[in-house]
């Protein structure tokens, strides 16, 4: 069924994917659907057991069905043994590169996986780094592979960064804007041939490919921070940030995506890659000033939610606050670097008692009192903050919410609440994208003073 609907790879190959997370599982299923035979190696025994039971350790729309079809067709399999690399012509490294406290990513999973791949290669092999890494990493991974590959086996490292978005990972993988491949010519050609000929494929050197990923995610982070700064300006000026940003984004040179205010960007990638780019720039003596400003504004965007809650309830010490939304965005279970976690930590530090509800989010600190039902989470709350734009929260019944709450303030940081209906139900809605109509900061009259004098 998937074959008849999809384009096929330029050349079908035996592949091995290392790491069964968001990127590894999606890439493995996508590549198998494109006609390859794929073995996935997963080191975490719990994740592997889940996969062997026919379940997925993560949630991505459509992925579970595709994985089970491909397994049944014998095109996709899972193992814990790195020896599964034997016989493969390409191994895709999709392991985690989590942030360290100094901003550099932790590349230990990658170094270990590369050594394992090289040791188990039985013929010439291309080791493709799909994980997001600082420029120059593939050169270092090449040295690791050279040191571990058996004599007479050549392992060539190529870069093929992944651009999928969580919550639509499979759709993105199968319909990419571009595929970026970096590496020496024969290896790069082999990576290019993993994908259909009709896809837009940019071939370059390894460092440029690595930097394209950092530069792309940094730009998206900058856009979000810019939207948050403009939204704050709108609030002071009594302007409507929704309209201002829509009007700005309609210029195709600007574009409307990622130009929405919110509680700041989160997830496993944007913050990590932004910090990674800053760290790389530092290392070569550049300051990455725009990227640094975007990071600073993001911290401030999260803090702004706490400020709004404080303004709404007076004193946070002893206040009860319900947080609706823990995942960093709707459609995913991922809570890595989610703004909600920072907001909750700041509220708890100021003495608030926090409850939370999210339809899908994975495990969070067990100290967070969590409810499946958002109305239960809001029971007795002085204020509610909506931090993830789940459709369930857009459909909240303001009358039921108001009667569950003790207070009446709803901080809508993601712009999903129908403010008119909520206000009609007696709730006070504090958005982050709208100033008070008619509010006019006196200081903006300054340029007019001398004109009118
Ligand atoms: N998540 C995203 O949206 C996304 C998008 C684009 C790029 N990336 C990048 O892709 C990489 C992977 O991200 P992710 O979100 O899929 O990570 P993840 O943490 O969800 O998955 C990584 C998986 O690799 C496994 N693993 C680690 N070492 C291993 C080894 N030696 N052998 C076998 N398995 C091993 C881990 O157990 C884990 O299951 C990161 O560099 C990330 O920055 C992520």
Q: What is the pLDDT of residues 148-163, one digit of tens each?
A: 999 999 999 999 999 9
Q: Which domains does the chain have, with CATH numbers?
A: 2-204 (3.40.50.720), 216-431 (3.40.50.720)
Dist CA 285 CA 177 (whole Å): 33
Q: Looking at the CA of residue 95, tell me the nearest atom of ligand 1.
A: 24
Q: How far is the CA of 289 from the centre of ligand 1 (A)?
A: 29
255 near 249, Cβ under 8 Å? Answer: yes
Active site residue 138: no
Residue to substitute in 18, 23, 92 for testing ligand 1 pocket (most ligand atoms within 8 angstroms of CB): 23
**Ligand 1 pocket member 274 (CB < 6 A):** no
* Ligand 1 binding pocket includes 329 (Cβ within 6 Å): no
Residue 100 corresponds to which tokens in the numbers above?
A: 């360290």
Compute, in angstroms, the gap from residue 394 CA to the centroid of ligand 1. Answer: 32
Do 411 and 305 form a contact (C-beta atoms < 8 A)? Answer: yes
Tokens of 407: 């207070």
Instruction: Check: CB of residue 411 under 8 Å from CB of residue 384.
Output: yes
Do 261 and 94 form a contact (C-beta atoms < 8 A)?
Answer: no
Distance CA 353, CA 340 (A): 14
* CA max distance for the chain: 86
Is the CB of residue 403 less than 8 Å from the CB of residue 391? Answer: no
Please indicate whether residue 120, judged by its CB atom, sits closer than 6 Å to ligand 1. no
CA nearest ligand 1 atom 20, residue: 21
For ligand 1, atom 12, the nearest C-alpha belongs to: 96
How buried is 267 (Cβ within 10 angstroms: 0-12 exposed, 13-18 middle, 19+ buried)?
A: buried
Task: Say what the pLDDT of residue 432 is.
Answer: 81
CB of residue 337 inside a 6 A radius of ligand 1: no
Pocket test for ligand 1, best of 19, 55, 81, 144 (most atoms within 8 A of CB): 19
* Beta carbon of 17 within 6 Å of any ligand 1 atom: no
Smallest Cα–Cα separation from 337: which of 102, 161, 131, 98? 98
pLDDT tens, residue by residue, 46-97:
999 999 999 999 999 999 999 999 999 999 999 999 999 999 999 999 999 9
Segment 160-200, tens digit of pLDDT: 999 999 999 999 999 999 999 999 999 999 999 999 999 99
Give residue 444 CA to ligand 1 midpoint distance, Å. Answer: 49
CB of 135 sitting under 6 A from ligand 1: no
pLDDT at 1: 44
pLDDT band at residue 442, thresholds of 50, 70 and 90?
low
Mean pLDDT of the residues in the chain: 94
20 lines ligand 1 (CB under 6 A): yes
Query: Which residue has the CA at smallest separation from atom 7 of ligand 1?
Result: 162
User: At which residue do the structure tokens 């590349």 appear?
Assistant: 107
| 358 ligand 1 Cβ < 6 A | no
Give the residue whose CA is nearest to atom 36 of ligand 1. 19
| pLDDT the model gives residue 248 | 98
Q: What is the pLDDT of residues 353-402, one digit of tens each?
A: 999 999 999 889 888 999 999 999 999 999 999 999 999 999 999 999 99
What's the CA-to-centroid distance between 146 and ligand 1, angstroms? 23
Count of alpha carbons within 13 Å of 181, Cβ hemisphere only?
23
């Amino acid at each position: 069924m998937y074959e008849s609907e999809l384009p096929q790879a330029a050349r079908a190959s035996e592949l091995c994917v290392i790491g069964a997370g968001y990127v590894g599982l999606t890439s493995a299923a996508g590549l198998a659907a494109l006609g390859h035979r794929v073995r996935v190696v997963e080191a975490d025994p719990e994740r592997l057991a889940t996969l062997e039971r026919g379940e997925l350790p993560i949630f991505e729309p459509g992925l579970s069905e595709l994985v089970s079809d491909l397994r049944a067709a014998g095109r996709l399999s899972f193992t814990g043994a790195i020896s599964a690399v034997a016989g493969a012509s390409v191994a895709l490294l999709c392991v985690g590169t989590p942030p360290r406290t100094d901003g550099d990513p932790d590349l230990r999973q990658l170094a270990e996986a590369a050594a394992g791949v090289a040791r188990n290669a039985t013929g010439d092999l291309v080791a493709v780094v799909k994980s997001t890494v600082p420029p120059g990493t593939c050169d270092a991974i090449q040295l690791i592979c050279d040191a571990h590959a058996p004599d007479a086996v050549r392992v060539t490292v190529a870069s093929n960064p992944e651009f999928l978005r969580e919550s639509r990972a499979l759709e993105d993988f199968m319909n990419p804007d571009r595929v970026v491949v970096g590496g020496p010519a024969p290896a790069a050609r082999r990576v290019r041939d993993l994908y259909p000929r009709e896809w837009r494929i940019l071939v370059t050197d390894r460092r440029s490919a690595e930097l394209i990923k950092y530069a792309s995610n940094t730009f998206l982070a900058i856009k979000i921070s810019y939207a948050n700064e403009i939204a704050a300006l709108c609030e002071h000026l009594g302007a409507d940030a929704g309209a201002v940003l829509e009007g700005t984004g309609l210029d195709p040179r600007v574009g409307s995506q990622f130009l929405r205010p919110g509680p700041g960007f989160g997830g496993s990638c944007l913050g990590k890659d932004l910090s990674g780019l800053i760290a790389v720039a530092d290392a070569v003596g550049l300051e990455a000033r725009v990227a640094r400003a975007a990071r600073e504004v993001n911290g401030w965007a999260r803090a702004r939610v706490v400020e709004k809650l404080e303004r709404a309830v007076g004193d946070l010490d002893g206040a009860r606050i319900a947080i609706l939304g823990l995942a960093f965005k709707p459609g995913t279970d991922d809570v890595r670097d989610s703004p909600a976690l920072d907001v909750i930590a700041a509220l708890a530090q100021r003495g608030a008692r926090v409850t939370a509800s999210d339809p899908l989010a994975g495990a969070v600190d067990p100290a967070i009192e969590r409810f499946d039902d958002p109305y239960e989470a809001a029971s007795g709350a002085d204020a509610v903050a909506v931090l993830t734009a789940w459709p369930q929260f857009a459909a909240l019944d303001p009358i039921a919410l108001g009667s569950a709450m003790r207070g009446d303030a709803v901080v809508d940081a993601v712009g999903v609440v129908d403010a008119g209906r909520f206000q009609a139900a007696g709730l006070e809605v504090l958005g982050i994208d709208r100033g008070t109509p008619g509010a006019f900061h006196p200081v903006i009259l300054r340029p007019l003073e001398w004109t009118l004098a």
